[in-house]
Amino acid sequence: MTKDTDTAANSGADQTQQDDTKTDAIDTAAVKTAAVSDDVAPADKTVDKALKVANDTKPADDWRLKFAGEDAKELKRLGRFSTEADMYKAYRELEKKKSSGELRQALGKDATAEDLTQWRKENGIPETADKYDLSFDDGLVIGENDKPMVDKFVANMHGENATPAQVKAAIASYYGIVAEQQQARAEADVAFKDDSLSVLREEYQGDFTKNLNIFAAYIETAPPEVAEKLNNARMGDGNPLMNDSEVIKWMTAQAFEINPVATVMPGSVSNPGAAIGEEITSIEKLIGDKTSAYWRGTGSEKMQGRYLELLSAQEKIAARS
């Protein structure tokens, strides 16, 4: 081989090595570019990556992949089930709820009157509001006074396509609340009356029973319809009017003014005026004797008070005559 030939051969080898070096450099740059491209991958590549990860971590013959295909979201949903049998059980439970009416298909927004009728029939809702069964196992009976209100309520519930069970539950709940309120009101009435009587007992002392009787007798003098209204009336705070101590004291005082005899004589006395005069005369006889029970003994103060009471009643009677 000549020198020129050797030189040409060496030059060709050097060129080949240089080309290989350039190729390696180009490949390396391409790999780096790909890596950078992956790092800044757009959002729409996220699903593909998730699917690739899911496929890489599951056997190729996983039953979930057969159902989900390339849908990563569905694959994730199927991941909730351990086996195909579990998925079938979930389906059967859903089917049972639908057939039992527990799971109802919604009525379409553009449903016609015929659609509504059919939908109500399929879901156990009566065709009209008056067809709801309002009989209750606990013996609850809707009274005549409440019937108009309940009828209106049921009509509104029917307009909302409520089931019979929902309507009965709502009505039973309402009456349950009413019963609780009535019980609480009754207990509050008793407590209020006890407090009023305690105040009156302390103020009236020995005249407590007599004054309450006068108060009751005074109410009975009103016409029956008026007496009923008074006895059933309630004040702004809900307490009974006729159990209020201030009302009782005022009305009792009015009774004394209207009928002074009532303060000193029982209602069974046929001629209270004459009876008052006779008792005054008998006490005045004792007043003239300084050794009598009017002046001496444990009952002297009581008799003296009685004398003043009789005189006051006699004066009021005379003023009215």
Kindly state whether residues 26 and 47 are assigned to the same domain: no
Q: Is the pLDDT of residue 274 over 60?
A: yes
Q: Is residue 194 part of a domain?
A: no
Between 135 and 275, the higher pLDDT residue:
135
Task: Show which of 154, 180, 206 is a domain's final residue.
Answer: 180
What average pLDDT does range 134-146 have in this prediction? 92
For residue range 88-102, what is the model confidence (pLDDT) as tens digits? 999 898 888 877 767
Kindly state whether residues 55 and 35 are assigned to the same domain: no
Q: What is the pLDDT of residue 313?
A: 79
Q: What is the pLDDT of residue 4?
A: 45
Kindly state whether residues 21 and 52 are assigned to the same domain: no
Q: Is residue 255 part of a domain?
A: no
Kindly state whether residues 12 and 52 are assigned to the same domain: no
Q: Is residue 203 part of a domain?
A: no
Q: Is residue 206 part of a domain?
A: no
Q: What is the pLDDT of residue 270?
A: 61
Kindly state whether residues 60 and 95 are assigned to the same domain: yes
Kindly state whether residues 32 and 55 are assigned to the same domain: no
Kindly state whether residues 85 and 139 are assigned to the same domain: no
Domain total of the chain: 4
Q: Is the pLDDT of residue 185 over 70?
A: yes
Task: Show which of 148, 180, 212 is a domain's final residue.
Answer: 180
Kindly state whether residues 76 and 46 are assigned to the same domain: yes
Q: What is the mean pLDDT of the chain?
A: 81
Kindly state whether residues 80 and 91 are assigned to the same domain: yes
Q: Is residue 213 part of a domain?
A: no
Task: Show which of 124, 157, 180 is a domain's final residue.
Answer: 180
Contacts of 195-203 with CB under 8 Å at 24 or more apart are: 195/245, 196/243, 196/244, 196/245, 196/248, 197/245, 199/245, 200/245, 200/248, 200/249, 203/249
Q: Is residue 240 part of a domain?
A: no
Kindly state whether residues 98 and 153 are assigned to the same domain: no
Q: Is residue 259 part of a domain?
A: no
Q: What is the pLDDT of residue 165?
A: 92
Kindly state whether residues 56 and 92 are assigned to the same domain: yes
Most confident of the ranges 78-92, 147-161, 201-215: 147-161
Percent of the chain past pLDDT 90, that is, above it, reads 43
For residue range 203-260, what is the model confidence (pLDDT) as tens digits? 999 889 989 988 998 898 899 999 999 999 999 999 999 999 999 999 999 988 887 7
Q: Is residue 111 part of a domain?
A: no
Q: What is the pLDDT of residue 292?
A: 92
Q: Is the pLDDT of residue 6 over 70?
A: no
Domain that holds residue 99: 41-103
Q: How confident is the model at residue 31 (pLDDT cuts 50, 70, 90)?
A: very low
Q: What is the pLDDT of residue 155?
A: 97
Kindly state whether residues 36 and 47 are assigned to the same domain: no
